[in-house]
Amino acid sequence: MRQALVFGLEAGVIGLFALIWPLLASFVISNVTAMIWLYAFAMVLDVALLVWWLLLAARYSRRAGNGELFDVPWVVRLTGASARKR
């Protein structure tokens, strides 16, 4: 349960950063053409990130729906918390 919360929070923070970084870059870059290309790149990156996140969430949902106990690898690496008893 805790890993699902951390997974959601981390995905939310990463998603928020993925949406905000072009805005922050626009304060530094004054060339309009460069900004258009940057925003186009950011949109492609956002879609790729969304697809990756949805695939991960669906995979974890399916495993949890089967009653399986498992660890989310990057959450375990970050927090050190594991669902399995040692």
Is a pLDDT exceeding 70 seen at residue 64? yes
CA 10 to chain centre: 6
- Amino acid identity, residue 70? F
Residue 66 or 45, more confident:
45
pLDDT top residue among 18 and 65 = 18
Average predicted confidence (pLDDT) for the chain:
83
Instruction: List own/partner pairs for 59-64 with CB under 8 A and 24 or more apart.
Output: 60/4, 60/7, 64/4
Mean pLDDT of 19-33: 92
Instruction: Spell out the domain ranges in the chain.
Output: 2-79
Percent of the chain exceeding pLDDT 70 equals 83
Give the tens place of pLDDT for each residue, 37-55: 999 999 999 999 999 989 9
Taking the C-alpha atoms of residue 83 and residue 54, their distance in angstroms, rounded to an integer, is: 22
User: Is the C-alpha dihedral spanning 75, 61, 52, 42 positive or negative?
Assistant: negative
